[in-house]
Chain A
Amino acid sequence: MKTAVFWGCCILTDQLGYEMSVRETFPRLGIELADLRESVCCGDPVKSVNDFAANYLGARVLALASQAGLRDLFVPCNRCHFTICEARNIIEQNQKAGQKIKELLKEEELEYNPDIKIWHTINLLHDHIGLEKVKKAVEKPLKNLKMASHVGCQIIRYSDLGRVDAAESPYKLDELIRALGAEAVDYAEKLDCCGSALMHSHLDSALSLSGCKLKALQALNVDGLIVSCPDCGLMFDARQKDTATIVGAKLNVPVLYYTQLLGLTLGIDEKKLGLHLNQSPIEDLLAKISA
């Protein structure tokens, strides 16, 4: 399968480990990635300022994928995935706004295309490639590892929009972790938000939300936390030290992207997966995996 890929801002400017590990692992599972002709915002931060302009930006991403001649669009960021899906929803439901957006796109010689299938890391791996194929590709299965997953918010809610997993009891990321040989634990705080959206306006509260979740995870004695959204990755991994200060705890929870964990089991070199970019203490976990 050949798919267009839309990275969004957070991955391209900050969470490079996610990008590197996707670029390394997906081709090995038979997914060919084609970058869009330009890197633009999906519209998410614009939603609060002008919802119409945000939907225009979301529709523009679909138009860019269509222009590349592809019917599938892979969006590895939860927030971008939601924004683009919602833009499509508005265009379908609100004729007036939809017409205006299509006209604006025409001025750039772009054409809106509603038939593009929008994928995320979780459903592309779980539903399209499938657990069996992932299992078969694994060269070094994980052993004696207890992992926790954090799927994030906007990729599972709200169901009416068509999301990639069950809103109240997401299970696909856990199944993908199990396919690699590790145990995936259930925990009470699983649906708690990382708080990243509050970084724009309430820094301490945002950090407190992710810190509380990390504190709970640490008490469970898990070997690591697995994420599949760059915003969540940024909060739990890159800002882990700051969250520790805010919640007054000593935190050392290793945080990996699912694609990084997958890459390790496929036998890919740590540096190629961008594992030197993770800011959380992942050394012990890496030693356990390679043991």
Chain B
Amino acid sequence: MSLVDLMTMATPNFGSREKILAKLCGRELVNCFQCIKCTSGCTALKLLELKPHEIMKLVNLGFVDELVSSDIIWTCATCLKCVQRCPQKASPYHVIVALRNLAVEREAKVPGRYLKAVSQILETGLAEACRKIVTRKMETVDRECLGLPKVSKPKENFQTIFMKAMEERP
């Protein structure tokens, strides 16, 4: 996706931009002055061509719908270097999280493992299932035989309340 292509071919949607701003609760996306500090240190730049400063510009220009349906928002490694280094506290990581949330709301392409983690939490409280572990010498062990305490499930009404939380969409 190139910025120039979008600007000549797409129409900005300021309603979607407002949605992202509402999700950012006070983080100053609009203050981004394109210094590119975020992109120059981005973990996902080299391998996956994520350019956080472009994401910032596109959101500010109102090209949110294009980002939400794009794979690029799922390439962030969440290393937080961009948040740390942004001189304007515009925080590209938080913008990417907001875009991901909007993608889920709109049922756009979302990597399946994220949704699986949510259903796993609903079922057991944990995002991953307890499993047997293989030692370096290929013996199979579990928590019990290693003398570790049992993993305890949350109480019954946790499921209902977590579902309620999942329905909240700021």
Q: Could you list which residues of chain A lie within 8 angstroms of chain B, going by C-beta atoms?
A: 9-10, 12-14, 16, 19-20, 23, 35, 37-41, 44-53, 56-57, 82, 90, 93-94, 96-97, 100-101, 104, 107-108, 153-154, 157-160, 167-168, 191-193, 195, 197-202, 205-206, 208-209, 274, 276-279, 282
Contacts of A153 in B (CB 8 A): 78-81
Q: Could you list which residues of chain B lie within 8 angstroms of chain A, going by C-beta atoms?
A: 23, 25-26, 43-44, 47-48, 74-81, 83-84, 89, 97-98, 100-101, 104, 110-111, 113-115, 117-118, 121, 125-131, 133, 135-137, 139, 141, 143, 146, 148-149, 151-155, 157-158, 161-162, 164-166, 168-170
Q: How many A-B residue pairs have CB under 8 A?
A: 186
Check A37 against B136 for contact (C-beta < 8 Å).
no
Contacts of A282 in B (CB 8 A): 136
Q: Is the interface of B mostly helix, strand, loop or mixed?
A: loop
Give complex CA distance A13, B133 in Å.
9
Give complex CA distance A13, B169 in Å.
31
Give complex CA distance A192, B97 in Å.
21
The chain A residue sitting closest to B142, CB to CB, is: A16
Give complex CA distance A59, B20 in Å.
23
| Residue of A53, A100, A168 with most partner-chain B CB within 10 A | A53
> A89 to nearest B CB, angstroms?
10
Contacts of A200 in B (CB 8 A): 111, 113-114, 117
Pick the residue among A38, A44, A57 that contacts B162 (CB under 8 A).
A57
Top-8 shortest CB links A-B: A45-B117, A157-B80, A201-B111, A53-B165, A193-B79, A158-B83, A56-B165, A200-B113
Check A20 against B148 for contact (C-beta < 8 Å).
yes
Contacts of A48 in B (CB 8 A): 97, 100-101, 104, 114
Check A157 against B79 for contact (C-beta < 8 Å).
yes
Check A201 against B84 for contact (C-beta < 8 Å).
no
Check B44 against A205 for contact (C-beta < 8 Å).
yes
Contacts of B152 in A (CB 8 A): 37-39
Contact A107 B157, CB 8 Å, known A20-B148, A50-B165: yes
Check A41 against B100 for contact (C-beta < 8 Å).
no
Pick the residue among A12, A37, A46 that contacts B121 (CB under 8 A).
A46
Contact A38 B168, CB 8 Å, known A48-B114, A51-B97, A53-B162: no
List 16 additional contacts besides A12-B151, A208-B47; criterion CB under 8 Å: A13-B131, A38-B152, A38-B154, A41-B125, A45-B121, A49-B110, A50-B101, A51-B170, A53-B162, A57-B165, A90-B25, A97-B170, A153-B80, A157-B79, A157-B80, A209-B47
Mind listing 23 A-B residue pairs with CB under 8 Å? Answer: A10-B128, A12-B126, A38-B155, A39-B125, A39-B151, A39-B152, A41-B126, A45-B127, A46-B117, A46-B118, A50-B166, A53-B166, A56-B162, A93-B26, A97-B25, A108-B155, A108-B157, A108-B158, A154-B80, A157-B83, A159-B84, A200-B111, A200-B114
Give complex CA distance A96, B22 in Å.
12
Check B114 against A193 for contact (C-beta < 8 Å).
no
Contact A40 B79, CB 8 Å, known A20-B148, A90-B25: no
The chain B residue sitting closest to A90, CB to CB, is: B25
> A33 to nearest B CB, angstroms?
11
Check B149 against A35 for contact (C-beta < 8 Å).
yes
> A286 to nearest B CB, angstroms?
11
Check B125 against A167 for contact (C-beta < 8 Å).
no
The chain A residue sitting closest to B117, CB to CB, is: A45
> A93 to nearest B CB, angstroms?
7
> B75 to nearest A CB, angstroms?
6
Pick the residue among A38, A82, A201 that contacts B153 (CB under 8 A).
A38
Contact A193 B165, CB 8 Å, known A16-B133, A97-B170, A198-B77: no
| Residue of B79, B98, B101, B170 with most partner-chain A CB within 10 A | B79
Give complex CA distance A278, B83 in Å.
33
Contacts of B44 in A (CB 8 A): 198, 205
Pick the residue among B100, B131, B170 that contacts A14 (CB under 8 A).
B131
